[in-house]
Amino acid sequence: MKFLTLHFPDLCISMDSNRLRAVTGKKRALTRREVQLREQDVKDLYGAVDTEALSRNGRTLDYTDLVSSPSLWADRRDLLDIAESAGMKADEIEQFMQEPDSFLQQPVSLSVDELTNAAWIEHPIVSFALDRAWERFVERSIRSCGRTVAIVEIFDGSRIAHQERTSVEALPGLKQI
């Protein structure tokens, strides 16, 4: 410890991991709040998504603004799922994985001698796959934001009940940091 304070005078050591562990688990405050935030109904999933977890984190997700730009929100697994669901050929999958946004605007080739003017994004199977990937993305975002909201609330003291506080507070002469 002396080494740390000598060489890193501005270093601050905390016991946040212990505090976090004390409120995490079945029937504990943090876990209950996270579940509550995750289970709230999502308003307007295919429009301006609205949930408490997202809004409390200052996050806005708008399907109409983002669906045609999966490079901004879809992970690699989602992109591959979209491509495979659409029945893209190997070279199309490669193009889509490299530049999904521009690829979606290209015309769909239905067969070797038949082309259509419809863009990939207008293809019903692609639209369906994009919607499924969007749902997974929104769920991941809500989960992440819900965790942040719950942690802030719990350690801010606004949600934790007196009986759920750590046992350190119950011991005389010990102060919680």
Residue 163 has pLDDT above 50, yes or no: no
- CA dist 69 and 124 (Å) reads 17
pLDDT at 164: 40
Per-residue pLDDT band for 17 (boundaries 50, 70, 90) equals low
Give the pTM: 0.70
Mean pLDDT (the chain) is 80
User: Buried b vs exposed e over 86-123: b needs ≥16 C-beta within 10 Å?
Assistant: bebeeebbebbeeebeebbeeebeeeeeeeeeeebbeb
Residue 157 has pLDDT above 90, yes or no: no
pLDDT at 93: 96
Amino acid present at 92 = E
Locate the domains of the chain by residue range.
17-162
Residue 16 has pLDDT above 70, yes or no: no
